[in-house]
């Protein structure tokens, strides 16, 4: 009976063993990359909307305050999506015949609401509150990015828990003056960072689970 | 198990939960040791080891693939015109009113962007004072119930409202010619003034028509007694806060019926806390135990005939010569009653005698005379006009209708929101009579037994779907405000009556508003209306007491009879069957018996022993030619030779939830003696029924007494007796550093005052609604898998025949040294710096180690996708948006309503202030009528909770384990009469 394995098979086996480990590590790294990739998180991907509403034009160009449309951002957990009526406040007069705005006019005429595609979506077991963040000096920019430069809206960050914790563990790096929260032209808060606002705003590191999960 | 015989008359161990435990049944020991004693046997899927591994492998693969999926973008739908008052994410509260069981209760309904999600009490309303009971909380389920009828039906086939209207209009053409001869209506007793007005108009238009009222929850007996005595329809109203001595004759005035919330609140104010100068004393004479009886300092148990004679004896002792009794009571009983009589006499003008509404007329009359002779009238009791708009004897009313039906005098019968085919006495044979009418219309929330045999069925609106009005027990009018449009195509009663009146129907708002505009005739009506709707109460509508001296009648009581007696009572939660399809109420453990999803014949241990019966065994009750088979439940504290059954079960057409539950006690409901059948006979059938009883679930293994009780005299002598009884290590006695991570600004804690708690379970229900807690069904309850986050444990102490009864609500104790946290492998349960034992559902992988290690057994596990029915039906609209809906395989438990804590914290921070004391009210505290639960920041020495915890009565459950629970209890102080023997031998 001839031998089943030859001496050079040892090398093949070694290569296979090492190769398996290498493959495993590559697979893990790949899946980690995939998790954070814009493909899965849609970070940085413009979201198509029924009306090509441009924040760049309205905020950057015209300088409309965030709260003009997102009315409940200071009072509630939700920032609020503007009702058709809010759009029509201006567009009754401006661009009133534009075909692009026909869905808005139709909604106003018929009473059927507009249906937008959601850009920022949190899982159902996460409770985020806008009002407390804007009251404590977290600028809109910090989470939503330079909205005044976005034509179509996209997500600036992954909205993963690790991203939330970046700030919740080191709030000083992100907190700016409360009166500049809605100011799109203000400098990135990171630059004046530190803890200057810790005591005036009673800032704490809130990292306990039930702060967001209940 | 030891034979039941051996246990009779013996004093067992202190604080036992059931007869089985008292007898030392090894199965019960198993329940104490294991949370789920039968779990091992539940895996009944035949699977080989190989296929198990294959499935496991496939599962892991699929899990991995599922992790790679990319979620589709969601949609956002904003308003077209946003309503002015709505801020998304902030609920609104609307004042409204609900009426069931014949009285109105003012409520505030929480609405989240148009969805009613929770019912709270209205602090301005006299029947609520800001609190609710379990039924009021659960009414939200009825609103969304997917089993509600949503279609007009003609002879069981779908039809339309227009068709019905056309047919009805044709019938009315004929009826108008005959002035309404043969037209009859049947409704619940009318307490709504605007509905009474509609009725009046209809009868004006059809003068020969008649309107009948019927409900199995009637109060005919007390009404009859008061009518005889005062010559007038009156009802009593109690001022419990002024009463130093109360005698309750099988009355559950603290938890059942009109005014219960107000009475419970005033009663608790005389019992709670550690200041006992104003403590009252409650005596109860009972045949079947009630929750009020369980609060009594002396509870005398006796069969119904002896009860009547004892009360008559008491009357004689207090000088009522026109009351006679004709049986000899034992010397011991006489001594006890003499002591009560003397105590009542000494506190005349500050005492109160209350009779249960099912007590027979002689007892009602004696109670009325007693209150009179004790000078209680005008002090602790007042007589008011009745709240029914058209008071009548309801049994008589239904009997007359049945007779007329049988005589063929009724051609058109309109049944509105009652179900007489199911809920009526057997001897009227209503179904047979009903079928003799030509044109039968049934309007109601459900396609029920009556709808099934009617020619037409029309779905009606729920109370929260249309405008209306109602009256509280003291006459206060409330306008009922709808919270949403009809969810299931229902029509309201004003719309139906407009067809009869041949009027153009505008809206229920217009119907109610125009009625009140005419009735009140005020110049400032518009303003007054707005204010009334906003406040939920109409100013100046409460009744004034009637001053009438009673006429003296001779009262005789039937002699003591040792025959077997059957008591028939409405179910404490299902009532007459109205809430059969309410799963929340079905799964709520019933007071004292702790049964869920079923009714049973309650029987005393001694009588059960003499018939050789054990729990769940079937008996056949025979009365004349009537037979009824039902399971028995042995209830310590029930009178011997007395059986009790509850109405509301055994329905054939309630809906998916209520199908095939329990037995139908209406089979034995006799219109002549509705609540008491003497001389029944009982036979053991040998059949065994499986009942879902929770008394052995989540058992605490405590070597010390879980409930600490002391007499008033002991307490005065040694205020710190509670601490000595617990024998717990002092906070300083620890080898470890105090928890250094508890450095939050607020430290949350809770206190439950056992002096106040009546065991009514309002907290359990409020918690369930607030926290989206699912219902699991009878089968799963039998597997110990019910999900209530706060349960109310019931303990007995003393002999098996006549024990003292105690209640203890058990939420999560939020231990500072929580045993659950250290065993979690994934840190899904952790401690916050404010002392909360947090449960993070999305981290939980379902090992159940935490639950296993919890000495209080307060953790609940989702064995199945219990929340699924809520997701797939309209029920998902009822869910609280601030609480995560848990999936299968996830552990959950009481969080001290952390969503409310977070909301208050954010609000406070936004306003740059600290959280005020009393700003955070957990759902259980908010509902509790007795105010037994206090929550707050224990580091703030001015907070109510800290002050209450400073009491010498404060103790922690299982404190000896060193868990340092944040939820603690106040030991219970009872105030027995020193001249009487203590209750239990």
CA nearest B780: which of B580, B581, B578, B586? Answer: B586
Take residue B92 and report the two structure tokens written for it.
Answer: 């609104």
| Interface touch A214/B910, C-beta < 8 Å | no
| Residues of chain B contacting residue A209, judged by C-beta atoms under 8 Å apart | 830, 832, 838, 840, 843
Give B172-204 pLDDT, tens digit per residue. Answer: 998 988 998 999 999 999 999 999 999 999 999
Q: Which helix (H) or strand (E) holds B346?
A: helix B331-346
Q: Read out DSSP for A122-185?
A: --TT----HHHHHHTT--HHHHH--GGG-SS--BSS---HHHHHHHHH-GGGT---GGGTT-TT
Length of chain A counted residue by residue:
214
CA distance B478 to A97: 51
Shortest Cα distance, chain A CAs vs residue B907, angstroms: 8
pLDDT score for B733 = 61
Q: What percentage of chain B's residues is helix, strand, coil (to nearest 5)?
A: 30, 20, 50
- The arithmetic mean of pLDDT across residues A187-194, rounded, is 55
Q: In terms of CA atoms, which chain A residue is nearest residue B894?
A: A214
Burial B444-466 (b: 16+ CB within 10 A, else e): bbbbbbbbbbbbbbbbbbbbbbb
Contact predicate B81/B733, CB 8 Å: no
Q: What are phi and psi of B254, to 5 degrees?
A: -80, -25
Looking at beta carbons, which residues of chain B come within 8 Å of A74?
910
**Å from B963 to nearest chain A CA?**
21
Whether the pLDDT of residue A193 is over 50: the answer is: yes
Q: How would residue A41 be classed by pLDDT, with cut points 50, 70 and 90?
A: confident
Contact B157, B432 (CB under 8 A): no
Residue of B nearest to A124 (CA): B884
Of A39, A82, A129, the CB nearest to B906: A129
Contacts of A118 in chain B (CB under 8 A): 73-76
Q: Using only C-alpha atoms, what is the Rg of chain B?
A: 29
Which string of b and e fits A158-178 if b means at least 16 CB within 10 Å? Answer: bbeeeebeebbeebeebbbbb
Cβ-based interface (< 8 Å): residues of B facing A: 68, 70-71, 73-82, 87-90, 830, 832-834, 836, 838, 840-843, 882-885, 895, 898-899, 902, 906, 909-910, 912
Task: Indicate the Cα dihedral angle B95, B122, B128, B925, nearest 10°.
Answer: 130
What's the sign of the alpha-carbon dihedral B25, B31, B34, B40? positive
Kindly tell me if the per-residue pLDDT of B371 is higher than 70.
yes
**Contacts of residue B500, Cβ cutoff 8 Å, sequence gap at least 6:** B172, B202, B205, B206
> How far does the CA of residue B60 sit from the closest CA of chain A (Å)?
16
Q: How confident is the model over B428-452, as a mean pLDDT?
A: 93
pLDDT digits (tens, 9 = 90+) for B570-628: 999 999 999 999 999 999 999 999 999 999 999 999 999 999 998 999 999 999 889 99
CB B909 to CB A132 under 8 A? yes
Q: Which range has the worst mean pLDDT, B103-112, B243-252, B670-679, B920-929?
A: B670-679
Answer yes or no: are the C-beta atoms of B508 and B467 closer than 8 Å: yes
pLDDT digits 0-9 by tens, A22-34: 999 998 898 888 8
pLDDT tens-digit readout, B487-505: 998 999 999 999 999 888 8
What is the average pLDDT score of chain B? 89
**Where do the H-state alpha helices sit in B347-448?**
361-373, 394-406, 430-434
CA-to-CA separations, A22 to A27, A29, A32, B60, B68, in angstroms, rounded = 9, 10, 15, 22, 21
What pTM value is reported for the model?
0.91
Using an 8 Å CB-CB cutoff, list chain B residues near A81.
76, 78
Please give the pLDDT value at position B61: 84
Between B301 and B801, the more confident residue is B301
Name the closest residue on chain B to residue A212, using Cα atoms: B902
- Answer yes or no: do B841 and A132 touch at CB < 8 A: no
* Residue of B78, B836, B882 lying closest to A210 (CB–CB): B836
From the list B833, B898, B906, which residue is nearest A132 (CB)?
A: B906
A111 contact residues in B (CB cutoff 8 A): 80
Whole-angstrom distance, CA of residue B915 vs CA of residue B897:
15
CA of A186, closest CA in chain B: separation in Å?
22
What are the residues whose beta carbons fall under 8 Å from the beta carbon of B463, sequence distance 6 or more? B96, B97, B98, B99, B139, B480
- B75, B79, B834: residue with CB nearest A83: B79
Q: Does residue B739 surpass a pLDDT of 70? A: no
Q: How far is A57 from chain B (nearest CA, A)?
A: 21
Judged by CB atoms closer than 8 Å, whether chains meet at A125 and B899 is answered as: no
Rg over alpha carbons for chain A, rounded to the nearest Å, is 25
Query: Chains A, B: CB contacts under 8 A, how many?
Result: 125
Of A77, A86, A214, the CB nearest to B895: A214
Q: What confidence category does residue B866 fall into, taking pLDDT thresholds of 50, 70 and 90? A: confident
A210 close to B746: Cβ distance less than 8 angstroms: no
Contacts of A212 (CB under 8 A, 6+ apart): A126, A127, A128, A164
**Contact list, B82 vs chain A (CB under 8 Å):** 71, 83, 85-86
Q: Model confidence at B13, in pLDDT bands (50, 70, 90)? A: low
Helices vs strands, H then E, count in chain B: 31, 42
| β strands within chain A, DSSP E | 116-117
Cα gap B811→B983, rounded to integer Å: 30
Query: Tokens 């022993």 belong to which residue?
Result: B609
* d(C-alpha B90, C-alpha A78), whole Å: 9
Alpha-carbon gap: B123 to the closest alpha carbon of chain A (Å): 26
- Model confidence at B731: pLDDT above 60: no
Contacts of residue B74 in chain A, CB cutoff 8 Å? 117-118, 121
Question: Are A113 and B830 within 8 A, CB to CB?
Answer: no
Closest CA to B300 of B263, B256, B330: B330
* Geometric angle at alpha carbon B977, from B976 and B978, rounded to 5°: 105
Which residues from A are below 8 Å from B78, CB to CB?
Answer: 80-84, 113-114, 116
Element (H, E) at B135: helix B134-144
Establish how many alpha carbons lie within 13 A of residue B404's alpha carbon, considering only the half-sphere containing its beta carbon.
Answer: 21
Tokens of B613: 């019966």
- A214/B898 CB distance under 8 A: yes
Minimum-distance CB partner of B87 among A72, A82, A118? A72
* pLDDT tens per residue across span B88-99: 999 999 999 998
Give the gap in angstroms from C-alpha B166 to the nearest C-alpha of chain A.
33
CA–CA distance, B577 with B387 (Å, rounded to integer): 23
How far B910 CA lies from chain A's nearest CA (Å)? 6
The structure tokens 């407390």 sit at A132
Instruction: Determine, for residues B79 and A113 on separate chains, whether the beta-carbon distance falls below 8 Å.
Output: yes
**A209 contacts B838? CB cut-off 8 A:** yes
Residue A189 has pLDDT above 60, yes or no: no
- For B541-566, what is each residue's pLDDT tens digit? 999 998 878 888 888 888 888 889 99
Judged against a pLDDT cut of 60, whether residue A191 lies above it is answered with no
pLDDT in tens, B227-253: 999 888 899 999 999 999 999 999 999
Instruction: Quote the pLDDT of residue B721.
Output: 81
- Cβ proximity of B214 and B398 under 8 Å: yes
Q: Which residues of B touch A46 (CB under 8 A)?
A: none
| pLDDT value of position B728 | 61
Interface contact B910-A132, CB threshold 8 A: yes
Of B78, B843, B898, the CB nearest to A113: B78
Residue B372 near residue B344, CB atoms below 8 Å = no
Q: For residues B420 and B451, give the distance between their C-alpha atoms in angstroms, rounded to a whole number.
A: 10
pLDDT for the residue numbered A195:
67
Q: Which residues of A touch B76 (CB under 8 A)?
A: 81, 115-118
The DSSP secondary structure of B746-761, one letter per residue, reads --EEEEEETTT-----
Is the pLDDT reported for residue B727 higher than 70? no
Residues B75, A127: C-beta atoms closer than 8 Å: no
Q: Convert B908-935 into a string of H (helix), E (strand) and C (coil).
A: HHHCCCCCCCCCCCCHHHHHCCCCCEEE
* B836 vs A contacts (CB less than 8 Å): 208, 210
Mean of the pLDDT values across residues B738-752? Answer: 84
Q: What is the pLDDT of residues B294-327, one digit of tens each?
A: 999 999 999 998 899 999 999 999 988 888 887 7
Write the pLDDT tens digit of every residue in B15-54: 888 888 887 777 777 777 777 776 555 566 678 888 889 9
**pLDDT tens readout for residues B886-941:** 999 999 999 999 999 999 999 999 999 999 999 999 999 999 999 999 999 999 99
Q: At B701, is the pLDDT very low, low, confident or very high (cuts 50, 70, 90)? A: confident
Instruction: Give the nearest chain A residue to B908 (CA atoms).
Output: A132
Please, are residues B799 and B12 in contact by the beta-carbon 8 Å criterion?
A: yes
Rounded distance between C-alpha atoms, residue B981 and residue B985, angstroms:
8
- List CB contacts (< 8 A) between B92 and chain A: none
């Amino acid at each position: 009976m001839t031998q089943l394995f030859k001496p050079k098979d040892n090398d093949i086996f070694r290569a296979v063993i090492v190769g398996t480990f290498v493959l495993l590590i590559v697979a893990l790294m790949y899946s980690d990359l995939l998790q954070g990739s814009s493909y899965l998180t849609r970070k940085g991907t413009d979201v198509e909307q029924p009306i090509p509403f441009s924040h760049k034009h309205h905020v950057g160009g015209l300088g409309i305050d965030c709260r003009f449309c997102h009315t409940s951002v200071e009072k509630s957990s939700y920032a609020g999506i503007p009702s058709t009526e809010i759009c029509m406040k201006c567009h009754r007069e401006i661009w009133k015949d534009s075909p692009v705005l026909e869905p808005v006019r139709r909604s106003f005429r018929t009473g059927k609401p507009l249906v937008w595609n959601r850009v920022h979506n949190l899982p159902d077991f996460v409770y985020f509150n806008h009002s407390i963040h804007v009251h404590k000096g977290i600028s809109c920019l910090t989470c939503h990015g330079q909205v005044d430069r976005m034509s179509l809206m996209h997500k600036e960050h992954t909205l993963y828990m690790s991203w939330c914790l970046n700030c919740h563990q080191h709030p000083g790096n992100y907190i700016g003056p409360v009166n500049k929260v809605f100011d799109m032209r203000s400098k990135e808060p990171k630059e004046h960072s530190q803890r200057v606002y810790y005591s005036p705003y009673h800032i704490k590191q809130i990292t306990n689970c039930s702060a967001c999960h209940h | 198990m030891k034979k039941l015989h051996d246990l009779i008359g013996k004093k067992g161990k202190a604080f036992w939960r059931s007869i089985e435990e008292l007898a030392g049944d090894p199965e019960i020991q198993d329940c104490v040791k294991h949370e789920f004693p039968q779990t091992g046997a539940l895996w009944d899927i035949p699977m080989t080891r190989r296929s198990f591994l294959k499935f496991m492998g496939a599962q892991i693969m699929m899990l991995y693939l599922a992790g790679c999926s990319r979620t589709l973008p969601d949609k956002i739908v904003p308003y077209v015109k946003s309503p002015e008052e709505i801020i998304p994410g902030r609920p609104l509260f609307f004042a409204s009113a609900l009426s069931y069981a014949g009285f109105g209760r003012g409520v505030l309904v929480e609405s989240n962007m148009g969805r009613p999600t929770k019912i709270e009490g209205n602090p301005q309303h006299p029947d609520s004072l800001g609190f609710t009971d379990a039924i009021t909380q659960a009414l939200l389920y009825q609103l969304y119930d997917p089993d509600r009828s949503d279609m007009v039906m003609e002879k069981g086939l779908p039809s339309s409202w227009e068709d019905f209207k056309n047919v009805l209009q044709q019938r009315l053409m004929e009826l108008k010619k005959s002035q309404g001869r043969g037209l009859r209506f049947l409704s619940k007793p009318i307490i709504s003034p605007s509905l009474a007005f509609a009725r009046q108009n209809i009868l004006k238009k059809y003068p020969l028509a008649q309107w009948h009222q019927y409900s199995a929850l009637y109060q005919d007996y007390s009404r009859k007694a008061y009518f005889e005595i005062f010559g007038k329809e009156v009802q009593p109203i109690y001022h419990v806060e002024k009463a130093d001595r109360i005698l309750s004759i099988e009355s559950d005035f603290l938890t059942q019926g009109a005014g219960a919330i107000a009475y419970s609140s005033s009663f608790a104010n005389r019992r709670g806390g550690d200041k006992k100068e104003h403590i009252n004393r409650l005596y109860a004479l009972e045949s079947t135990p009630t929750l009020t009886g369980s609060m009594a300092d002396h509870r005398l148990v006796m069969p119904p005939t002896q009860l009547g004679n004892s009360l008559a004896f008491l009357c004689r002792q207090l000088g009522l010569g026109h009351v006679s009794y004709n049986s000899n009571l034992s010397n011991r009983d006489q001594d006890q009653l003499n002591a009560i009589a003397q105590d009542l006499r000494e506190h005349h003008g500050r005492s109160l005698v209350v009779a249960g509404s099912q007590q027979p007329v002689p007892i009602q009359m004696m109670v009325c005379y007693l209150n009179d002779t004790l000078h209680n009238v005008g002090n602790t009791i007042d007589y008011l006009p009745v709240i029914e708009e058209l008071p009548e004897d309801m049994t008589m009313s239904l009997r007359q209708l049945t007779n007329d039906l049988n005589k063929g005098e009724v051609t058109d019968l309109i049944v509105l929101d009652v179900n007489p085919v199911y809920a009526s006495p057997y001897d009227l044979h209503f179904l047979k009579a009903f079928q003799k009418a030509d044109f039968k219309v049934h309007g109601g929330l459900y396609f029920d037994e009556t709808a099934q045999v009617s020619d037409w069925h029309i779905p009606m609106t729920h109370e929260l779907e249309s405008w209306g009005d109602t009256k509280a027990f003291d006459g206060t009018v409330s306008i009922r405000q709808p919270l949403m449009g009809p969810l299931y195509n229902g029509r309201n009663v004003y719309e139906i009556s407009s067809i009869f009146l041949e009027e153009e129907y505008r809206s229920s708002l217009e119907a109610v508003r125009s009625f009140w505009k005419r009735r009140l005739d005020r110049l400032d009506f518009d303003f007054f209306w707005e204010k009334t709707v906003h406040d939920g109460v109409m100013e100046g509508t409460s009744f004034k007491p009637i001053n009438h001296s009673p006429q003296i009648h001779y009262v005789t009581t039937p002699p003591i009879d040792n025959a077997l007696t059957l008591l028939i009572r409405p179910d404490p939660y299902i009532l007459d069957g109205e809430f059969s399809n309410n799963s929340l109420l079905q799964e709520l453990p019933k007071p004292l018996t702790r049964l869920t999803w079923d009714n049973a014949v309650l029987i005393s241990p001694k009588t059960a022993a003499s018939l050789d019966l054990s729990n769940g065994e079937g008996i056949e009750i025979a009365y004349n030619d009537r037979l009824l088979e039902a399971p028995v439940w042995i209830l310590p504290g029930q009178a011997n030779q007395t059986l009790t059954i509850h109405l509301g079960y055994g329905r054939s057409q309630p809906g998916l939830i209520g199908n095939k539950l329990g037995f139908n006690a209406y089979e034995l409901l006799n219109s002549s003696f509705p609540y008491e059948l003497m001389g029944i006979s009982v036979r053991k059938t040998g059949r065994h029924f499986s009942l879902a009883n929770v008394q052995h679930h989540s058992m605490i293994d405590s070597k010390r007494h879980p409930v600490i009780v002391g007499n008033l005299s002991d307490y005065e002598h040694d205020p710190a007796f509670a601490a000595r009884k617990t024998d717990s290590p002092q906070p300083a006695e620890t080898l470890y550093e105090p928890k250094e991570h508890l450095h939050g600004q607020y430290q949350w804690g809770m206190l439950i005052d056992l002096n106040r708690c009546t065991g009514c379970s309002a907290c359990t229900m409020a918690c369930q609604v607030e926290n989206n807690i699912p219902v699991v069904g009878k089968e799963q309850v039998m597997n110990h898998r019910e999900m209530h986050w706060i349960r109310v444990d019931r303990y007995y102490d003393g002999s098996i025949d006549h024990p003292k009864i105690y209640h203890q609500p058990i939420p999560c104790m939020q231990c500072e040294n929580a045993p659950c946290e250290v065993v979690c492998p994934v840190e899904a349960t952790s401690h916050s710096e404010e002392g909360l034992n947090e449960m993070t559902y999305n981290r939980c992988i379902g090992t159940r180690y935490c639950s296993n290690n919890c000495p209080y057994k307060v953790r609940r596990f989702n064995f199945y996708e219990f929340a699924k029915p809520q997701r797939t039906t309209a029920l998902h609209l009822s869910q609280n948006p601030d609480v995560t809906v848990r999936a299968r395989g996830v552990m959950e438990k009481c969080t001290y309503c952390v969503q409310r804590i977070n909301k208050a914290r954010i609000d406070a921070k936004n306003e740059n202030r600290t959280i005020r004391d009393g700003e955070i009210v957990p759902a259980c505290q908010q509902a509790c009528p007795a105010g037994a639960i206090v929550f707050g920041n224990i580091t703030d020495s001015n907070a109510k909770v800290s002050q209450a915890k400073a009491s010498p009565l404060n103790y922690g459950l299982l404190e000896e384990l060193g868990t340092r629970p944040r939820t603690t209890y106040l030991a219970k102080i009872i105030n027995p009469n020193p001249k009487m023997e203590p209750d239990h031998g």
